[in-house]
Chain A
Amino acid sequence: MTDALTRAPRLETERLILRGPERRDAAPIMRFLMDPVRSEGFGHIPERGEAWRWFALLVGHWHIHGFGYFVIETRDTGQTAGISGIWYPETWPEPELGWVVFDGFEGRGIAYEAASRARLWAYHELGLQTLTSNIVPGNDRSKTLATRLGAVYERTYMNENMGEDELWRHPAPQALAVRHSEGTT
């Protein structure tokens, strides 16, 4: 079998590769989902079989929408460091720019670097005109990163999975281009 499970493109940044999910990513992604502390703000899945089916959902999402979560791989060591991309399952208010960094990869700006690249791809290649990020109220780390990405709090809504959830709005493509030219990245 080929490694590719989707038609996701391969994107590169200074330190990272963003690529479609492959079979070898199932284990680190399941480990993250089953970790109650790490996955609290994302959607904790305690049962192993359910976690595998979430990985299968991640693959299927690409086929349904033509976009989805990229796997973040470090260029130097080739490790799976997290996921970031555009997430739009049923009941989501809008396509979301999401990010998660796995245990051992925090504190290095990996989420920022990956999410910035995924956002550019969504604007340039998918032609999206706006993006939001859905953040549970207590997830201060994610709010800090959203702020750093230029996103602002817009409203709170009820998410069927997560309960009360905040919608943060990212700069539109034009505003983002201005930010880049001013060197605020």
Chain B
Amino acid sequence: MSFPARATIETARLILRQPVPRDVDAAVAFYVSERAQYSGGNVPMSHAFRNFASILGHWQIRGFGLWAITTRDSDAILGLAGPYYPHGWPETEIGYVLFDGAEGHGFATEAARATITDARSRLGWGEIVHYISPENARSIAVAERLGATLDPQAATPGHGKPCLVYRQPKPEAVS
């Protein structure tokens, strides 16, 4: 690999680790639920399984992927956050989703912020975007808390659904 491997990312309250097979039930439960409608979910169970298995596969193929969000108290997966770059994505994305019951604590923001730092320093990512459904107000709020701004000129993933692109400021502009 052209970048060093990393097992976990730790934040004040969270431990981010690679998703593993035992996460499948929680992930499938999320993707079949209506709350996953803006995250490629609210889909039949076979499709939900595909979503999760392809996240594991993305890690193997790319060497990075969406991290499982866990707390320091429990290894149970609460959501996913991190670098996502499947075939057809115009730019490198930091994605984030929280499963049912994990919202309202700022976990998505805390996890995504740590994975942005890691993607910049370890993976060498320059441009970082968040692809968000226009109706997903909560996700837009997280993007704004993460310092991203709407980029109306940016290309969107060609999946035919309306999509906003929020862009992180360049690293040099931050410092």
Contact = CB atoms under 8 A, between A and B. Distances in A.
Interface string B83-96: 00011110000000
Interface in B35-64: 44-58, 60-61, 63
A5 B45 contact: no
Contacts of B169: none
B46 A160 contact: yes
B105 interface: no
Contacts of B52: 60
Nearest to B22: A64
A52 interface: yes
Main secondary structure of the interface of A (DSSP, over half): helix
Interface string A23-34: 100100010000
Interface residues of A, number: 30
A50 B89 CA distance: 11
A160 B54 contact: no
Nearest to A50: B159
Contacts of A53: 50-51, 54, 86-87
Give the most central of A49, A54, A56, A61: most B CB within 10 Å: A56
Nearest to A1: B1
B60 A5 contact: yes
A57 B158 CA distance: 20
A50 B49 CA distance: 14
Given A49-B159, A64-B24, 17 more contacts: A6-B60, A30-B87, A47-B88, A48-B87, A49-B158, A50-B159, A53-B50, A54-B50, A56-B55, A56-B56, A56-B86, A59-B56, A63-B21, A64-B53, A89-B46, A89-B50, A91-B49
Interface of B: 1, 21, 24, 28, 44-58, 60-61, 63, 86-89, 157-160
Interface of A: 1, 5-6, 23, 26, 30, 47-61, 63-65, 89-92, 160-161
